[in-house]
């Protein structure tokens, strides 16, 4: 079933991946821009929910700043549609304004918007020109960096006004950290992923601008979290910003914690600071001790297929019988760390769940073999791990996996003018929402999987790093070295 994958099959899937992106992107531009998102069932734009400001499912992400377009800029580069990339960059420069009456989540604004702006700038100005000279708009003059700094200045109070170093989870784009009068639903509760996954974007911005407040604040947050580990070496999944006390003691590799570990590893790779590798390695070893269940080897020995479960941060005892869809990115982290066999093994857990339902439910109860949260919001994590594993192994099995994912998405989620969130993976009912990460990540990884001639695939290990939002950050020795003596300063 998963043997060879012919050249004709690859070309067919590459064409489908491109058509999937074009259908979604063109409809966003036609029906939604300059709104943040596209409602793909009724073909309308979606912005912040001003009628219900406490609707954080919407308002944490949408800031009335053309989110989907910014998040998608570097996907246009991957598609090598440079004329549309130039047009999109110009639209962002000419129309996006961050001086908005909106309360947004710091983490989401950082990885989606700040990351999108920085990635596009770095690709435009990369002197290696691996995407060719046509990527550069002749009129470009660092405007995206100016926009990025404007946004980061508005996010920074969440970090700098905190007495513990942990960033408040939300900011008002005009007013800073909202008080109880402005935002009665805003709490001081955050998570390690939200608080400790800002360093790539904040660090790159600092090194581009020479303003190191951003990097210093992001490093302070990481170090605060690191100092709050349990004796097991594990972190919880929820913490109070003001007291620095754990509110949730679930420790896993999925929602609430996932990108904290990912950014320890990627910060070491991008900035070259050994401390972050040591933090990652210690964390990775503890996760293997406390979170891993099943037999020692993936395909041999006594016991169940290995799996990483949610445990109590203090004693390592199993706390839940579910795993979540965000943990499907863990194989990509394992692979980047060099643990290839374990990555292959973990990936199979999530692909088997996908095959069971045709999509990946948000939570899957491995004890009862059924969804615990049944929706699928077009998440990219399994596609990401599949792409990275194919790049590392060249095993055609992963092309078959990618085809399964791509065909399922087109079969079950394609709507009138885009791709819609699946409300229930068993019933295949739809919700009228297409999150920006579908274009910035899901489509990008699936396209790259089948595009063997893409410059990213020819030079990925040497020159590029993907952010947790799938944004492309060219590795840059000038940015790596610019921090100088700050990198070992005790203030972190």
Please, how many CA atoms are within 13 Å of residue 347, restricted to the half-sphere of its CB? 25
Q: Measure the CA–CA gap between 45 and 60, rounded to whole angstroms.
A: 17
Active site residue 362: yes
Give 41: exposed, middle or buried? Use CB within 10 Å, 0-12, 13-18, 19+. Answer: middle
Of 381, 432, 451, 469, the catalytic one is 381
Distances (CA, A) of 252 to 12, 221, 288, 379: 38, 20, 11, 19
Residue 151 in tokens = 């946004």
Active site residue 339: no
Q: Measure the CA–CA gap between 294 and 323, rounded to whole angstroms.
A: 15
Active site residue 381: yes
Strand order in the sheet with 322-324: 322-324, 363-365, 370-373
Count the residues in the chain.
492
Of 36, 71, 74, 108, the catalytic one is 108
Q: Measure the CA–CA gap between 279 and 259, rounded to whole angstroms.
A: 14
Nearest-10 Cα torsion for 237, 382, 29, 454: 130
Please, how many CA atoms are within 13 Å of residue 479, restricted to the half-sphere of its CB? 25
Active site residue 384: no
**Which H or E run contains 308?**
strand 307-308
Q: Measure the CA–CA gap between 409 and 144, rounded to whole angstroms.
A: 32
Residue 290 in tokens = 């406390």
Of 36, 74, 258, 441, the catalytic one is 258
468 assigned binding-site residue: yes
Catalytic residues: 108, 258, 362, 381
Numbered residues of the known binding site: 468
Residues annotated in a binding site for Ca(2+): 468
């Amino acid at each position: 079933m998963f043997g060879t994958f012919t050249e004709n099959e690859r070309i067919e899937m590459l064409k489908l991946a491109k058509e999937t992106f074009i259908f979604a992107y063109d409809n966003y531009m036609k029906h939604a821009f300059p709104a943040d998102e596209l409602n793909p069932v009724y073909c309308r734009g979606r912005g912040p929910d001003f009628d219900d400001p406490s609707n954080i499912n919407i308002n944490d992400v949408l800031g009335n700043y053309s989110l989907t377009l910014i998040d998608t800029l570097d996907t246009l580069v991957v598609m090598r549609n440079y004329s549309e990339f130039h047009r999109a960059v110009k639209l962002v420069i000419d129309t996006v304004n961050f001086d908005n009456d909106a309360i947004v989540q710091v983490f989401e604004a950082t990885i989606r918007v700040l990351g999108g702006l920085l990635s596009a700038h770095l690709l435009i100005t990369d002197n290696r020109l691996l995407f060719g000279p046509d990527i550069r708009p002749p009129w470009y003059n660092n405007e995206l960096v100016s926009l990025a700094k404007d946004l980061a200045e508005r996010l920074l109070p969440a970090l700098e006004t905190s007495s513990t170093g942990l960033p408040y989870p939300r900011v008002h784009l005009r007013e800073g950290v909202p008080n109880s009068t402005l935002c009665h639903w805003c709490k001081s509760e955050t998570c390690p992923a939200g608080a400790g996954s800002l360093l790539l974007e904040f660090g790159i911005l600092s090194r581009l601008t020479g303003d190191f407040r951003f990097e210093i604040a992001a490093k302070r947050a990481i170090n605060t979290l690191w100092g709050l580990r349990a004796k097991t070496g594990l972190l919880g999944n929820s913490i109070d910003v003001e007291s620095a006390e754990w509110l949730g003691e679930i420790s896993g590799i999925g929602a609430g914690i996932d990108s904290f570990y990912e950014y320890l590893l990627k910060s070491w790779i991008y900035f070259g600071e050994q401390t972050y590798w040591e933090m990652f390695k210690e964390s990775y070893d503890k996760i293997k001790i406390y979170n891993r269940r099943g037999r020692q080897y993936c395909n041999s020995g006594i016991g169940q297929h290995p799996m990483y479960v949610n445990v109590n941060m203090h004693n390592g005892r199993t706390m839940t019988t579910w795993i979540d869809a965000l943990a499907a990115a863990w194989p990509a982290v394992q692979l980047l760390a060099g643990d290839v066999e374990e990555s292959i093994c973990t990936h199979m857990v999530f692909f088997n769940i996908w095959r069971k339902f045709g999509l990946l439910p948000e939570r899957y109860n491995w004890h009862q073999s059924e969804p615990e949260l049944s929706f699928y919001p077009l998440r990219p994590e399994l596609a990401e791990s599949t792409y990275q594993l194919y790049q590392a192994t060249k095993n055609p099995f992963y092309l078959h996996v990618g085809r399964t994912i791509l065909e399922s998405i087109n079969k079950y989620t394609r709507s009138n003018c885009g791709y819609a969130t699946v409300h229930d993976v068993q019933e295949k009912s739809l919700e009228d929402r297409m999150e920006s990460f579908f274009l910035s990540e899901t489509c990008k990884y699936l396209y790259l999987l089948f595009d063997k001639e893409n410059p990213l695939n020819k030079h990925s290990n040497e020159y590029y790093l993907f952010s947790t939002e799938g944004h492309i950050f060219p590795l840059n020795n000038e940015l790596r070295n610019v921090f100088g003596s700050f990198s070992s300063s005790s203030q972190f």
